[in-house]
């Protein structure tokens, strides 16, 4: 079934609709936008809600990160060394 061209909006109508939509959005954005001071107050309120780790938990998490980094460093080194040895044998390269 063919579409009727009569129901299709003109370019001018489409442009006007888009402009109205954009004006509405910019007005909403201006209403929602607060001052910088208000933003900082909200940040302060949210920071008070944060449950901070204890010193012991912080040290445990830090140690876990260091151990994980060391593990992955050794693992990648071993994989890289293995591939290098394999390529040396396959290509007959000596250093």
3-class state of residue 51 by DSSP: coil
Give the pLDDT score at 95: 67
Q: Could you tell me if 82 and 74 are in contact, meaning their C-beta atoms sit under 8 angstroms apart?
A: no
22-26, 36-40, 58-62, range with greatest mean pLDDT: 58-62
DSSP state of 50: -
Minimum mean pLDDT among 4-13, 52-61, 71-80: which range?
Answer: 4-13
Give the pLDDT score at 53: 94
How far apart, in Å, do the first and last CA atoms of the chain sit?
75
pTM of the model: 0.50
């Amino acid at each position: 079934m063919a579409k009727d061209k009569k129901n299709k909006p003109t370019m001018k109508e489409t442009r006007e609709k888009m402009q109205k939509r954009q004006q509405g959005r910019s007005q909403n954005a201006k209403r929602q936008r607060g001052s910088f001071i208000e933003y900082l107050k909200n940040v302060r309120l949210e920071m008070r809600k944060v449950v901070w780790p204890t010193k012991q938990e912080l040290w445990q998490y830090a140690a876990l990160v260091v151990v994980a980094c060391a593990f992955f460093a050794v693992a990648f080194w071993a994989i890289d060394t293995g591939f290098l040895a394999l390529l040396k044998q396959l290509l007959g390269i000596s250093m």
